[in-house]
Amino acid sequence: MHKRSVTPLLVLAAALLAAPLACTQAPADPLKGATSQPPPVDLLEGATWSYSTDDGKTFSAEGPTVDPGEKVVIVAAAKFDVADPAPIAGLTLTTGLSPQVATDLSLNGKPFAPPLKEMTYREIPGVDPALLVSGPNVLTMTFGIMNGHDEARPLPPMTTTLIALKGENVAFQTGPALGYFDAEHFTVTCRTNVPIAVTLRARPIDAKGAAEILVASDKALMHRVKVKRAQGVDAYEFRLEAAFGKAVTTTDWLMAPRWSDVTDGTMRFAAAADSRTIPHQWRAVSLAIAAAKPQLLVFAGDMVTAGRSDWEWDEQYFGPAKEMLATVPTYAVIGNHEEEAPVYPELFYTPTPDGRGKNWSQQVGDVLLIGIVGHTSFAPGTDNHKWLERTLAESKAKFIFLFNHYPGWSSRGTTALNEQGVPRDKITHQSRTILMPLLEKYNATAYVAGHHHYYERSEPAAGVTSIITGGAGAPMSSRSQPDLTNNPHSKGVVSRLHFCLFEVSGDTCTMKVITPDGEVFDTRTWQAREVK
């Protein structure tokens, strides 16, 4: 049972707003293999509703009228008929209430809940069709409302829907998205709109005699697949397949990342952060990243506005960037707007033992990449500090980049010093007094962050470049000049949509900062570090 909250009377779920997309030529849609199918059926169309305000003891066909200032717990029951539930692959419930309203749900007397605790849903996917019976069925919803008006108000008509998805309606709702890769593996995540098993089919390219690889996930909404390459085979194309009965849904064939592309002395990787809130701006940036053809992208947090609002992951992050995410492996770093959402580690595959770790490191070619959770403690003596120092100390990579959502040096006022000369913000204090000195100790190349919605490059005397790349689509800052009081090391601030592209060749790494329309407005070149 969920702890009930109350919602002001007449507050219903907001309509989904489709954000406009940038008019940029897009790569192929990874889902173009899916064919158009008849729309699914709403089982509650024509349902008979009744209401109770005494915990289900008595019901009335009329919705209750709530007096001013009164709080009422309502049990709403919908009676509907189902001829045969067998062809139904899954059910999706939209309550018609605000997503923040805790609602106790049952179908034919059997309770059910949303897929993940601590997430809120506009649409609740994965309702088990086994709860249905042939003939009459009853959906029950229990929720609280409060009348904040000066006069009595009736409960508005219920707008609840219960969508029956058949095999032909099965779809890949989120992804496919490429995760980390190495010499032996590549990884893919996705989410389907019904609980179903998904098979990844990988076929080798230009490898005579090599067999296809099939990797199946369990029946679920979230799918995480790690593919082991055959010995001596580096190049694969793959697609995802989901079957229910005779109906099969597939993605198009996509190219898997090749390890040989990053081990020949050259490498190209991108960095970006803060895509949240304005989907069409993130789409424009993501298309530009895809066009640059990096071997991977490190994304430094704040993908969505509110990480525990499930719908935002598709509307604000995965949907607008679906072409890029299906073709460019993404290494994710968590920010504050992700809100430690339980869906986050399910949607990204990091270079950690189970793929869900949020502090991670991997040497890719001549570059050591490190991603950390910057709002957790890295104080000396903590496991985090020990892990980070060990990772830095053991590295022989020519270049080291640490990615943290939170910057060390910034012109934004939140990084200002107090009377004792210490950053007021605890996370900034940790970045400057613990993280940056560790990077300096081991001669790292750069510290890359987001959080502040502009681009800023800082060059402290100790030699580790500090970069803020918070321009992937979120509302841009109005700042146009550095604040040298807060950040005496700043080389300039630019408040424009952008991403960073790093190109490694031999002993040189060059960064270009690029707008969606291809303008380069900053560059920086580093030489291979001296290993201490």
Q: Give pLDDT tens digits for 319-373.
A: 999 999 999 999 999 999 999 999 999 999 999 999 999 999 999 999 999 999 9
Q: What is the pLDDT of residue 417?
A: 59
Burial class (CB within 10 angstroms; exposed 0-12, middle 13-18, buried 19+) of 39: exposed
pLDDT surpasses 60 at 21: no
Banded model confidence at residue 110, pLDDT cuts 50, 70, 90: very high
Whether this prediction's pTM lies above 0.75 is answered by yes
56 is written with which tokens? 């289900």
pLDDT of residue 23: 33
CB atoms within 10 A of CB 412: 22
Q: How far is CA 98 from CA 13, 113, 188, 302, 322, in A?
A: 4, 16, 33, 24, 28
Tell me the CA end-to-end span of the chain in Å, nearest whole number: 57
The structure tokens listed for 101 are 């309203």
- The band of 474, judged by pLDDT with boundaries at 50, 70 and 90, is very high
What is the rounded CA–CA span in Å between residue 282 and residue 303? 9
Rounded to whole angstroms, how far apart are CA atoms 293 and 503?
Answer: 11
Gap between the Cα atoms of 86 and 79, Å rounded: 19
For range 118-143, the mean pLDDT: 98
DSSP string, 150-213: SS-EEPPPP--EEEEEEGGG--EEEEEEEEEE-SSEEEEEEEEEEEE-EEEEEEESS-TTPPPE
Task: State yes or no: pLDDT of 119 exceeds 70.
Answer: yes
pLDDT over 60 (residue 26) = no
pLDDT tens profile 379-430:
999 999 999 999 999 999 999 999 999 998 999 866 555 666 666 678 988 9
pLDDT of residue 480: 83
Write the CB contacts of 81 (distance below 8 Å, at least 6 apart in sequence): 135, 136, 137
Give the mean model confidence (pLDDT) for residues 487-501.
96
Token pair recorded at residue 531: 């290993």
- Residue 467's Cβ-side half-sphere holds a number of Cα atoms within 13 Å equal to 26
What tokens were used for 340?
A: 């430690």
Is the pLDDT assigned to residue 8 strictly greater than 70?
A: no
State the average pLDDT over residues 483-501: 94
Res. 492: pLDDT tops 60: yes
User: What domains, with CATH codes, occur in the chain?
Assistant: 27-166 (2.60.120), 170-255 (2.60.40.10), 265-527 (3.60.21.10)
Can you tell me the distance from the alpha carbon of 246 to that of 140, in angstroms, rounded to the nearest whole number?
Answer: 33
In terms of Cβ atoms closer than 10 Å to its own Cβ (0-12, 13-18, 19+), residue 174 is buried
Ranked by mean pLDDT, the top range of 37-46, 244-253, 480-489 is: 244-253
pLDDT > 90 fraction of the chain, expressed in percent and rounded: 84
CA distance linking residue 41 with residue 503, whole number of Å: 51
How much is the average pLDDT of 181-195?
98
What mean pLDDT is reported for the chain? 92
Whole-number Å distance between alpha carbons of 39 and 45: 14
- Tokens, residue 44: 């509650």
Average pLDDT over residues 496-506: 98
Sheet with strand 508-514: strands edge to edge: 330-332, 296-299, 266-272, 499-505, 508-514, 520-527
